[in-house]
Amino acid sequence: MNYLTGEEILAIHSEIIDQTGGLHGVRDAGLLASILERPKTAFGGKEMHRGLFKKAAVYMEGLARYHVFTDGNKRTAIAAWLKKHCRKITR
């Protein structure tokens, strides 16, 4: 499984803010690290979030709900999913 890294999500966020406007910055780096680990969660040796789409939903929900960035949280959540698992985002 291809998981997002902190570097990837920060680069995606920066690109989204540059293209669509808003403020750069991370409000809570610890929370961001936690969100990036959530799709990997397992209990009793079994994955809690099985499959690509469930894992993507966990990323998107965390980024959109908990507002780890100063601005552009929902835009970053959608762009992160598309960039990681689809071809290319163009205007």
Domain 6-85 CATH class label: mainly alpha
Q: Would the pLDDT of 65 be above 90?
A: yes
The pLDDT score that the predictor gives to residue 88 is 58
- The string of DSSP letters for 30-87 reads HHHHHHHHGGG-EETTEESS-SHHHHHHHHHHHHHHH--BSS-HHHHHHHHHHHHHSS
For residue 76, name the pLDDT band (cuts at 50, 70, 90).
very high
Q: Would the pLDDT of 78 be above 90?
A: no
- Tens digits of residue pLDDT in 16-61: 999 999 999 999 999 999 999 999 999 999 999 998 888 888 988 9
